[in-house]
Each structure stands twice: as C-alpha cells, then as structure tokens.
Structure 1
Amino acid sequence: MTAPPVFEAALAEAQAWHAALPEARAFCPWPDDMTWAGRKPHALPATRHITQTPGATTAQSSALLTAIQALIPHADWRHGYTAAQVGQDFLDRFCWCELAGPQGHFHSNQTRLTLAYWGPNLFYPRHHHAAEELYTVVSGEALFHADGTPDATLGPGQTRLHLAQQPHAMTTQDSAVLTCVFWRGGDLAEMPSLSA
C-alpha cells in the first residue's frame, strides 16, 4: 500500500529537516525500515492553532511547517494525558501525532518521529521516559527545562537532548511552539510518565 501524497511530502520534508540539522544527524540515522501503516484521521481542538498561531519560522523551517499544516486534516492527532493530569485548557491547546514509529503513520522500529504543538502560555509538566529524545523546534519558541541541565529558550532550528529517564518540562510564553521530535533506544512505543 502506498502512502497518500500529503504524507509522502511531510516525510520528505522531515527527512530534509533531519539532514539539515547536525544534532539530528548525530542523534540518529534516518530510518531505513519505514513502511506505510496508515492510521485513521483524528482531529483535536488544538490542530486549528497549528495553522492560525504556529509561531515564527525561519527560511530553513518554513517548508516543514507548511507540510505539517497540510497534514492536519489527515493525521491521527493524540493527547497521551488526561484532563485530570494536565487540565482541560492544556488539552485544548496541545496535540501531537506520530509520523513514524511503532504506532505511526509510517511504521518504524528504528526511531519514533513525532510532531507536537503547544499553544502560548502553557506549562508542560515534568515527565520522563526510557527512550532518549531530541526536540527540534520548527516554529515558535519555548523555555525547555531538564533536571541537571540549565534552562534554555529555543527557537526554530535549535535542539534539546533529553537522556533516558531524565525528567524534563517545557514552558511557552507569548509564542506557541511546534516541534519535530526524535526518539531512540528504550521502548519507542512507551508513553511518557509524569514525574514527581
């Protein structure tokens, strides 16, 4: 089965983005085991904000943003948390989808590649997971927190590495943030757990 053109275009832009970022290339090779898995579309309230308020981009990141925006009506958008854990306002302005990975639109056992959006003025609580993770910022900016590492405000083209089981969090202020996130090692299908 062949992937729809909108997904092929998004995957091609994600691959170009990976190739353009030295930190991403060093973190993991581009997976060579991807096959089209297909998933049913699932909309969430936050998806409209990816078009309306994605945050600033650069010339390097704008093509990936455009490809992600084209995916919005076709992708399986998820939360992974409950309102009891993070609050309904957070869920209304947060979403992610797995473009590639064990449960992605493209199946891969080598890496997990997710696209995630947080609206302005949100706090993403401390959480952890067994896989190592590299955040890459596509648009907007956010303040990244991680235990044992200084806080850093990152914008388009900048990256943040989180080690296995390293608790980390994020704060957005006036801007939303859209990220392309790579996982390696550990259980790639694991959902993050909120940290104490």
Structure 2
Amino acid sequence: MFDAALAAARDWHGASPVQREFAPWPEDLTYVSREPVQVPGLAHLVNDPGAASEASQALRDAILAIAPFVEWRLTYSEDEVGADFLQRFGWFELAGPEGHFVTNSARITVGFWGANLFYPRHQHEPEELYTIVSGAGLFHADGEDDCMLGPGATRLHGVNQPHAMTTTDAPILTLVYWRGAGLADPPRMTAA
C-alpha cells in the first residue's frame, strides 16, 4: 500500500509542471517501517476527504488506503490552535528526513483539515508548495491576495513567508512539498 501511495504521489508530481519546476522527485527514497499513530482527525478524513478531480482521485484514494497505517502528527498545541482544530486536523510525512520514505533532498507531507477550520498564521524556513488533492481552502499569505483553491491548484510560500488557511463548508486534503534548509524543523506560529 505504501508503494502504491508513493507511486500515486510521484504520478501527481510528474503530471504537474508547477510541481516538477518546484522540486525534482527524490531519487534516494528508502522505506522505513514506522509505528502507526492515529489522531482524531483521521475519522473526519475517512468520513469526508473532500471532492477530488478526475486527475487527483487516484492520489486521494491511495492516501485514504494508507491513512489508518501512517504516523500521523499534530505539531501544534491546544493553546496555539484550539481544541476543535486538533480534533479535525492531522498530517504525516510521506517522504523526508523523518518520513515513511526517508530522503534528505525534500520533505513531502500529507495534510488534512476538516471543514470550517482556521489554520492560524505561521511560517517556516523551507519554501513550500501546497498542492490540493481534494476539497478546498482559502489561502492567505503576507504580500499576496487571498485565493480559494481546489483540486489540482497550487500555492507557493516563500522562505519564512507568514501564511494561513481557512476551510469553509468543505475539508481539504493536500500534498505539500518543502525545499531548502530546515526540512526537519516544525513551523512557528506568527503574531498577527
């Protein structure tokens, strides 16, 4: 299942000029068995992953297949994001320094946010490219106009560029690429 999910992610990457331009697909991937960690948001993802496009359906379905078996993470505290957020959010590292597939050349994560959530303003050293697999979200970034993005759309965040996201009546499932220094570092909340 993990190989199938990785292949679906690689195909998603290969079909998108924006993704290919942002970062080449890592060639040094080594599978590492990790203990599954489940988070409350997993039940929300399984119940409603959001609508996919014809192009993103294979990746969405591959993510759903491995979702009960991955090492989900939360990163944030209740003080930072609130209890409701932690009940309907989760992410895992598909590939990267601490991923199910280890590489030091990139960090590729899967993130899920339930409907009607605000992901507060935060930043990180690596550049980041969000790709929307299913659902939709309103993306906010300092110095840029807000934009609503759905399946197949992308959003680039620069080095240490503060950004946030709001889901409305739909959840959002994303595949996110990081490149540059600090790949294993967590995001930092940013004051408004």
TM-score (norm 2): 0.98
1:154-173 alignment, distance < 5 Å = 154-173=149-168
Are positions 1:115 and 2:122 aligned together?
no
Aligned-partner Cα distance in 2 for 1:91–1:75: 17
Q: Where does 1:147-186 land on structure 2 (aligned, <5 Å)? A: 147-186=142-181
1:43-122 correspondence to structure 2 within 5 Å: 43-122=38-117
Gaps of 5+ in 1: 1-5
**Identical aligned residues as a percent:** 54
Offset at residue 65 of structure 1 (A):
0.6
> Out of 136, 152, 156, which is 1:141 matched to?
136
Structure 1 runs (4+) deviating above 6 angstroms are: none
Amino acid across the alignment from 1:91 = L
Structure 2 residues not aligned, in runs of 5+ = none
Deviations 1:120-144 (A, max 9, x none): 0000000000000000000000000
Aligned counterparts of 1:175 and 1:76: Cα–Cα separation in 2: 24
CA distance in 2, matches of 1:115, 1:79: 12
Partner of 1:3: none
- Other-structure match for 1:14: 9
Q: CA RMSD in A?
A: 0.6
Query: Residues of 2 paired with 1:36 and 1:54: CA distance?
Result: 25
Q: Deviations over 1:81-120 (max 9, x none)?
A: 0111111100000000000000000101000000000000
TM-score of the aligned structures, taking structure 1 as reference length: 0.96
Query: Aligned partners of 1:93 and 1:153: how far apart in 2?
Result: 20
> Using the alignment, how far apart are the partners of 1:189 and 1:117 within structure 2?
19
Question: How far is 1:168 from its partner?
Answer: 0.2
Deviation at 1:55, TM superposition (A): 1.1
Offset at residue 184 of structure 1 (A): 0.3
Q: What amino acid is aligned across from residue 11 of structure 1 in structure 2?
A: L
